[in-house]
Amino acid sequence: MAIPENHSPVEHLHDLIKKKHNKEVQLFFKKQKFDMPAGTPKEQAAYACLIKDEDNAETMILRKLFFEFDCGHAQSLQAPVYGIPVSEHQRGVRFKPQVKLYFVERMGLDVTDRDNPASGEITFRLMNEASSTYSRAKAEAMAKDIKREFGSPIFTWEKGWFYYYYKDFDRGYDLRLLVKNKAEGERVVKNVLAIQGHPFDKDCVDFPEHDRTYSLNPGTQLIYGQQTKKSVERPRVDVRFRYAQLFLHGRLKAINLVATPESRLKQVIERLTTI
C-alpha cells in the first residue's frame, strides 16, 4: 500500500502511542473516571495520565513517566525477585499464605559508621487459609490489624546480639528475632501475635543467652583489588516499621497491605501518613 501524500511520520507515531498508552491507562484505572481534573486523587491521576490530541512530545513523555513511575504501572508489571524465579519456586513448593513485616533503620540517625542502614523482616503463616480461600475483604481486615499494631504509632524494633525464638507451628509462627534483651523479644512477639488476636505462650519461647559481643566497626577486607568495609554482624540498632506484604501461592505479585510514604510502594491497602 502506498504511503499517502499528506502522511506525517511524527503524527503517525503520536497516534499509535496515544492509542496504546491510553488503553493501558484505562485498564489500570478501570474503576476511576477519566474526565475529573478536580475529582478524587485517583481520578485526578487518571485524567493526568491520558494523552490528549493536542499534546506535544514533551507532554506525552511527562504523562508516560507519571503513569509508569508515580502512579506505579511499571511496578505492577514487575514480579518480585527472590533469586529463584517465583514461578519456578512455586511449582515445587505449595505454601500457606505468608505475611511479611519489613523494618529499616533511618539514615542520618543511627547509621554513622556503616555504609547501609540495617533492616529486619518478620514473617508468619496464615495456617487456617489458602490461596483459594483468601479474599480482598480478608486482606483489608489484615491490613487494618497490622496498621493498628505497627503503624499507630510507627513501631520500632530494637535489634541486638541475642536471638529470641518463638515457635508455634500450629498457628504459623517460627519467629527468630535479634533483640537487645529478652524483654524486647517478648514485646515484639506480642505485637505480632496481636495482629490475629493470638495469645502469648511462654512455652513457645527460647532465649539462649551468651557473652559474645559484635563490633560496629569490624574493619575492612580485600575484594576485587580494593579494601571494602566488612558487613556489621548483629548491629545494635533501632529499625522502624516500613511496610507489610501478603504472599499467596500461585500469585507472583505481593499484595501490599500497609506502607509508609518512604516505602514508595504502589497499590497499598492501608497507607500510613507518617514516616
Q: Show me where the domains of the chain are located.
A: 9-77, 86-271
* Share above pLDDT 70 across residues of the chain, in percent, rounded to a whole number: 87
Stronger pLDDT, 82 or 255, i.e. the higher one: 255
pTM value is 0.67
Q: How far apart are CA 145 and CA 140, in angstroms?
A: 9
pLDDT band at 86 (very low <50, low <70, confident <90, very high): very low
Q: How far apart are CA 263 and CA 275, in angstroms?
A: 9
pLDDT higher at 203 or 4:
203
What pLDDT, in 10s, does the model give residues 225-236? 888 877 777 788
Distance CA 48, CA 22 (A): 11
Confidence category of residue 91, pLDDT binned at 50, 70, 90: very low
